[in-house]
């Protein structure tokens, strides 16, 4: 098993992991490490190979070549040991709709050898963790998609896993529900030390919650690292500075544009789309954003522009993703 950067074993490690279906190579020579206590995002379009990778890690399909280790076990030969230690939330989560959430969790607990008082304590613990206390005793046929996802995470947590693997955990959930799910994942890492691997094609959500990201395309891992590292690797070494002005000064659009555009390292200036939206300054390189913020403060004071707010924003994962696809020849 490969060591992570802090010297501890990587909970998930693959080398040359490959899966072929006839002439189709779904996963092509995957080398990957997921570190303990991090949220790692596999980012890619549908059909990129994310789910196939997860199925191999869980021992639900055998690789055509290469190796995988999950908590030191080979899923191809030790699938039961892996399943005991890994919680899994599939893309299409399903429950018995005529049973309550608690009854569904009891069923899962029994499958994992938990019964009686220990099972009830565990069910109460995971119910509180996913904040479903108010609805846990109603039938799941009345649950929203977001509530079903929360119950799915609770279901995966019943066995007290060391690793949680989530396949498209926020698909078809409303924006408020998405925020709740992402906050829940962060709490699980902070409070329980769970290592989380999630797959998604939703770039903004991956960027907001993941410590590191692997960009997946055509079965290959074409980029790996933090958002900042990926921005540098794929030439998206650009950040944004957002600047807001009070209403009276915002009317002087051309004066503001001219003052901001003259600041060194500001490559482009865009006004907000709405009257209360901030101006966007494209800054290159990304490391120059602090100097740009200081210059904006000085210019706004000098020209009395009515500055009300200023903040830095890193390059978007959308920009990085498109750049990675172009450089890999996979943009089409």
Residue 57 pLDDT exceeds 70:
yes
Given a contact cutoff of 8 angstroms between Cβ atoms, the answer to whether 269 and 261 are in contact is yes
178 and 264 together in one domain: no
Instruction: From 227, 259, 277, give the residue that closes a domain.
Output: 227
Given a contact cutoff of 8 angstroms between Cβ atoms, the answer to whether 11 and 194 are in contact is no
Tell me whether residue 329 is in a domain: no
18 and 143 together in one domain: yes
Given a contact cutoff of 8 angstroms between Cβ atoms, the answer to whether 106 and 114 are in contact is no
pLDDT tens string 190-240: 988 999 999 998 887 788 899 999 999 999 999 999 987 887 788 666 778
209 and 269 together in one domain: no
Residue 2 pLDDT exceeds 50:
no
Tell me whether residue 330 is in a domain: no
Instruction: From 227, 259, 285, give the residue that closes a domain.
Output: 227
* Residue carrying the six token digits 């929203």: 144
Q: What is the CATH number of the domain that holds 203?
A: 3.40.50.300
H helices present in the chain, as ranges? 50-57, 79-85, 101-111, 116-129, 145-157, 175-192, 203-209, 227-233, 247-250, 253-261, 289-303, 317-327
The residue ranking higher by pLDDT, 236 or 271, is 271
Tell me whether residue 127 is in a domain: yes
Tell me whether residue 39 is in a domain: yes
Instruction: Find the mean pLDDT for residues 153-181.
Output: 88
Domain containing residue 297:
239-314
185 and 37 together in one domain: yes
Q: What is the CATH number of the domain that holds 269?
A: 3.30.70.920
Q: Check: pTM over 0.85? Answer yes or no.
A: no
pLDDT tens string 295-310: 999 999 998 888 888 9
């Amino acid at each position: 098993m490969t060591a992570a950067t802090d010297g501890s074993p990587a909970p998930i490690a693959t080398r040359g992991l490959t899966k072929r279906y006839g002439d189709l190579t779904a996963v092509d020579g995957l080398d990957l490490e997921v570190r303990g206590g991090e949220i790692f995002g596999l980012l890619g379009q549908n059909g990129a190979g994310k789910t196939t990778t997860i199925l191999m890690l869980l021992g639900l399909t055998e690789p055509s070549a290469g190796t995988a280790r999950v908590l030191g076990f080979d899923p191809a030969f030790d699938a039961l040991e892996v399943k005991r230690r890994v919680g899994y939330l599939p893309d299409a989560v399903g429950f018995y709709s005529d049973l309550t959430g608690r009854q569904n969790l009891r069923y899962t607990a029994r499958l994992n050898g938990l019964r009686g008082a220990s099972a009830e304590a565990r069910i109460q613990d995971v119910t509180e963790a996913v904040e479903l206390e108010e609805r846990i005793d109603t039938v799941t046929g009345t649950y929203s998609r977001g509530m079903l996802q929360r119950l799915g995470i609770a279901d995966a947590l019943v066995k007290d896993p060391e690793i949680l693997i989530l396949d498209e955990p926020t698909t078809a959930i409303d924006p408020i529900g998405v925020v709740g799910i992402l906050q829940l994942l962060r709490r699980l890492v902070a409070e329980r030390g769970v290592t989380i691997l999630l797959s998604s094609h939703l770039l903004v959500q991956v960027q907001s919650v993941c410590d590191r990201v692997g960009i997946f395309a055509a079965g290959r891992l074409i980029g790996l690292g933090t958002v900042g590292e990926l921005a540098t690797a794929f030439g998206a070494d650009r950040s944004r500075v957002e600047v807001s002005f009070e209403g009276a000064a915002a009317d002087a659009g051309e004066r503001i544009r001219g003052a901001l555009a003259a600041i060194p390292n500001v490559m482009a200036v865009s006004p907000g789309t709405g009257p209360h939206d901030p101006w966007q300054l494209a800054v290159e390189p990304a490391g120059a954003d602090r100097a740009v913020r200081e210059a904006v403060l000085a210019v706004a004071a000098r020209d009395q522009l009515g500055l009300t707010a200023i903040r830095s924003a890193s390059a978007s994962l959308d920009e990085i993703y498109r750049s990675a696809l172009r450089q890999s020849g996979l943009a089409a």
